[in-house]
Amino acid sequence: MLRTFFRCAALVAAAIAGAGTAGAQPLATVILGSKAMFAGEIRAVALQQTRRAPSVVAFGMVLDPGPLISLSAQIAAARGKLASTQAVTALKRSEAARAADLYRTRHNISQAAFQAAQSQLLVAQAAQASAQAQLGELLARARTDWGAKLGLAAASGTAPLPELERGAEQIVEVSLPLGQSLPPASIDPRASTPDGKRVALRLVGRAPRAVAGVAGPSLYYLMATQDSAPIGTPLTVALSGHGTVAGVLIPASAVVWHDGQALVYRQSAPGTFVPVAVPTLTRAGGGYFLAEGGDAALQPGQRIVVSGAALVFSASQSPPGATKTRAAKPEDDD
């Protein structure tokens, strides 16, 4: 029995021997015998049609809340300064009125004292106007830099500002690529960190400006402490829309990566496997969703390799003569 196993294993080794570095040779259609497939545990299954809500892949980033917290503190200080100048103005207005009464009706003060009281009132009014303008500029900056809801939080000190100050929540900005529009429903997005950790996001509102280098519309979300990530952490976010679209679910075990591009191997005949590029995959559960369309690379009913895909990929990279293969582009049909 052991000798039989080793003979089968040798067939697989021969099928993948001489594999070159990724990208060194064009990927090839792989032809394997039944013994090699058995030894390598290579298995293909038929794709099943499924339906799911349409989604748009967006780019998320954990933001530094420091500027928003600092802006809120500046607004609070500006409000205090305005209140102080208003109090001084009220006092100087009363003094100026009393001086005018004493000077014009009773002549109990000099003209110089009367004019000094009027001047002090004008100075107080100018200081109040300056404080009012400073507060208005800060409030406008809060709206233009952080949007309506976060801007209001900065202006009033209401939620989520206290949570951000004590580190209970973080701000995440989610941006779409240029040319994409926000789906109608973006309340409960599916988000994950680079290491695959799922995080929960809670919608705050529309961001007032596009992110440099992305140029698509953006949204602000809040992320709770239990899902916290360092500032600057990129997130992959799938925003769901209304309705459903048809497509196929591809197991994660079926996907291999070549030069940064996702590939699967479609069985075009018994023992024959064609590399197929699938650039528009969307994460779904333990695998990926590929929407159907006129240019869809895979269709329901077609069989793809779900076990042993790495072995087939290695054989697909082999130089000419190393295996029984024929050259094929990743998107070629059989």
| In the chain, % of residues over pLDDT 70 | 82
Q: For the segment 156-193, what is each residue's pLDDT rounded down to a tens digit?
A: 999 999 999 999 999 999 998 777 777 665 667 888 99
Rounded to whole angstroms, the Cα distance separating 93 from 123 reads 11
Mean pLDDT calculated for residue range 122-145: 97
Q: At residue 260, does pLDDT exceed 70?
A: yes
Beta carbons within 10 angstroms of residue 271's beta carbon: 16
Task: Give the residue from 222, 77, 70, 219 showing the smallest Cα distance to 160.
Answer: 222
Rounded to whole angstroms, the Cα distance separating 291 from 296 reads 7
pLDDT value of position 74: 97
Pick 13 or 150 by higher pLDDT: 150
Rounded to whole angstroms, the Cα distance separating 124 from 130 reads 10
pLDDT value of position 104: 86
Pick 227 or 230 by higher pLDDT: 230
pLDDT value of position 93: 96
Pair 283, 233: CB distance under 8 Å: no
Q: At residue 330, does pLDDT exceed 70?
A: no
Q: What is the pTM of this model?
A: 0.62
Q: At residue 326, does pLDDT exceed 70?
A: no
Q: At residue 333, does pLDDT exceed 50?
A: no
Pair 328, 33: CB distance under 8 Å: no
Q: Which of 109-123, 188-202, 288-302 has the highest mean pLDDT?
A: 109-123
| In the chain, % of residues over pLDDT 90 | 51
Strand pairing report for 201-206 and 215-224 = antiparallel
Q: Which two tokens stand for residue 66?
A: 């420091």
Mean pLDDT calculated for residue range 122-151: 96
Pair 95, 89: CB distance under 8 Å: no
Mean pLDDT over each residue of the chain, to the nearest integer: 83
Q: Which of 27-41, 88-102, 181-195 has the highest mean pLDDT?
A: 88-102
> Backbone phi, then psi, for 289, in 5-degree steps?
-110, 135
User: Would you say how long the chain is, in residues?
Assistant: 334
Q: Which of 19-23, 263-267, 294-298 has the highest mean pLDDT?
A: 263-267
pLDDT value of position 318: 65
pLDDT value of position 292: 83
pLDDT value of position 171: 95
pLDDT value of position 17: 43
pLDDT value of position 13: 44
Mean pLDDT calculated for residue range 232-259: 87
